A and B are shown apart, each in its own frame.
Chain A
Amino acid sequence: GEDVEQSLFLSVREGDSSVINCTYTDSSSTYLYWYKQEPGAGLQLLTYIFSNMDMKQDQRLTVLLNKKDKHLSLRIADTQTGDSAIYFCAEDRDNAGNMLTFGGGTRLMVKP
């Protein structure tokens, strides 16, 4: 199975905040990523965080990184139905952005 772990499913109501969690294994990973995958589509890069940062905010997205616990989270503010998708976290084990190790994905369902 994957070394990067995520919960399988999250359901929220439209307008609420969503928090998707991830634990990773390689403390030397330089970058950690969040990708979004809609049904039948490829992966869309949402955001990434450098390992020397604790937090990164990008519009409705906030990424929190706890290096001590190897825990990464993605918070989506004011979640919309269009945010329904599978979200993957990934770590960059070769520290060059070219060889990503992904979690199994969290399916986010947003109810109107």
Chain B
Amino acid sequence: DAGVTQSPTHLIKTRGQQVTLRCSPKSGHDTVSWYQQALGQGPQFIFQYYEEEERQRGNFPDRFSGHQFPNYSSELNVNALLLGDSALYLCASSLQGGLYEQYFGPGTRLTVT
């Protein structure tokens, strides 16, 4: 049973560029949430996708956007990168209406120079 997978594992971008991160949920899950974890801090909720729509959003600017595909996989896009966007980006999957358990992927480490 495949767990949550994310790609790429590491990424280096320059300030002002755009980046796309990818996530495949755990088998049987239909909901994907994205979190940003800055160094030395706990994860912060960015947004959640279910049925290909953004359902909830945390306190992040519009530069952060996403998409969910019919196979439940998801992308996180960040435009106009800032140095402060450097972080570990975590994807978590869950099942709507199921047990309240979120399973996290290994994350993508984004470095903005």
Contacts and interface: CB of A to CB of B under 8 A. Distances in A.
Interface of A: 2, 4, 30-31, 35, 41-45, 48, 88, 90, 92, 94, 96-105
A105 B43 CA distance: 9
B101 A48 contact: yes
Interface string B14-40: 000000000000000001010100001
Contact of B56 (A30, A35, A99, A103): A99
Contacts of B43: 43, 88, 100, 102
A38 to B, nearest CB: 10
Contacts of A96: 96, 100
Contacts of B103: 45
The bracket for how many chain B residues form the interface is: 20 to 34
Contacts of A35: 104
Nearest to B91: A42
7 contacts: A2-B42, A35-B104, A45-B104, A48-B101, A94-B56, A99-B56, A100-B35
B71 interface: no
Contacts of B105: 42
Give the 4 A-B CB pairs with smallest separation, nearest first.
A97-B100, A102-B42, A43-B104, A42-B104
A95 to B, nearest CB: 8
B34 to A, nearest CB: 11
B90 to A, nearest CB: 6
A2 to B, nearest CB: 6
